[in-house]
Amino acid sequence: MTENRGQRTEDATALLAAIRFNTDGLIPAISQDANTGEVLMMAWMNRQAVEDTLRTGYAHYYSRSRQRQWKKGESSGHVQQVRSIHLDCDGDTLLLKIEQTGAACHTMRRSCFYRQWRNDGWQVTEEPLHAA
Amino acid sequence: MTENRGQRTEDATALLAAIRFNTDGLIPAISQDANTGEVLMMAWMNRQAVEDTLRTGYAHYYSRSRQRQWKKGESSGHVQQVRSIHLDCDGDTLLLKIEQTGAACHTMRRSCFYRQWRNDGWQVTEEPLHAA
């Protein structure tokens, strides 16, 4: 157990070493449905959120408005189980392939990107999921 | 022609009205392969880049390091033809579904997200495309 903990800490250090956080100590993280490829949302992570995501296997983010780190779905139950973590060439954007429980969006839609530009206006392309 | 130009300007105004640029006047834009669903890159747009993307049908971004707006692929030829433009719930992230010519990444890889975390290190999961 102690060894596992040590290993995990070492892993997190290696993972974090390649990440270039911005001047606010944050990095954008895109979440993509691991099964369908649908892009679900983009949110920000601080160092702790990255560590907690790695440690628990569930996506954690940093809320800039609430100024705190949070587990996605901690109140709604709409958690994101992480299948894989990817980093871009500049080390300043993360891509998480995840299994989404329920809605990724706070509007109860599967994806936050439910508006599409259609010639002369933003059209809503996705309806909210029905409450269970 | 004049009418078309007027219409385009009006369209851009409506499109831009829903977008919440950050305090630097920028918005992150995720580009996704319209055919495969692969997430290719994340870059930033300023107001002009959004307008030029809408006007030309090709992705334009704003380079924070060079402090100027640019057409993706203007020197490499690796342009991104935009199929659709999507906006998230908060209006602060764009998703572009695009047709990518060649490599999206400056390392000549199809996607910028070519590193994947595998237990104890970042593994390169994609090789550069061969030069034509």
Residue B119 maps to a domain: no
* pLDDT of A114 above 50: yes
Provide φ and ψ at B82, rounded to 5°. Answer: -85, 125
Give Cα B107 to chain centroid, integer Å. 17
User: Per the structure, how many domains does chain A have?
Assistant: 1
Residue A26 maps to a domain: yes
| pLDDT (0 to 100) of residue B95 | 98
Q: How far apart are CA A45 and CA A32, in angstroms?
A: 15
Token pair of B54, please? 């809408």
* pLDDT of A131 above 70: no
Question: CB B86 to CB A113 under 8 A?
Answer: yes
| pLDDT (0 to 100) of residue B31 | 98
Residue B126 maps to a domain: no
Residue B121 maps to a domain: no
Do the Cβ atoms of A51 and A59 come closer than 8 Å? no
Residue A25 maps to a domain: yes
Confidence category of residue A3, pLDDT binned at 50, 70, 90: very low
Question: Looking at residue B129, what DSSP letter applies?
Answer: P
Q: Domain limits at B54?
A: 2-102
Q: What's A27's domain CATH number?
A: 3.10.20.810
Average confidence score pLDDT of chain A: 92
Question: Looking at residue B17, what DSSP letter applies?
Answer: H
Residue A21 maps to a domain: yes
- Digits of tens for pLDDT over chain B (132 positions)? 444 555 666 678 889 999 999 999 999 999 999 999 999 999 999 999 999 999 999 999 999 889 999 999 999 999 999 999 999 999 999 999 999 999 999 999 999 999 999 988 999 999 999 864
* pLDDT of A1 above 70: no
Question: CB B122 to CB A87 under 8 A?
Answer: yes
Q: What is the pLDDT of residues A57-66, one digit of tens each?
A: 999 999 988 9
Q: How far apart are CA B64 and CA B54, in angstroms?
A: 21
Q: Is A55 on the interface with B (CB under 8 A)?
A: no
Residue B115 maps to a domain: no
Question: Looking at residue B62, what DSSP letter applies?
Answer: E
Q: How far apart are CA B92 and CA B100, in angstroms?
A: 23
**A126 Cβ contact list (under 8 Å, min separation 6):** A109, A110, A111, A114
From chain A, the residues in CB contact with B37 under 8 A are 36-38
Q: Is B4 on the interface with A (CB under 8 A)?
A: no
| pLDDT (0 to 100) of residue A2 | 42
Residue A111 maps to a domain: no
**B115 Cβ contact list (under 8 Å, min separation 6):** A18, A86, A87, A88, B122, B123, B124, B125
Question: What percent of chain A shows pLDDT beyond 90?
Answer: 83
Q: What is the pLDDT of residues A22-44, one digit of tens each?
A: 999 999 999 999 999 999 999 99
Least Cα separation, residue B30 to chain A (angstroms): 8
| pLDDT (0 to 100) of residue A14 | 86
ipTM: 0.91
pTM as predicted? 0.92
Q: Where does A1-132 show beta strands of DSSP type E?
A: 27-33, 39-45, 60-63, 68-71, 80-87, 94-100, 115-117, 122-124
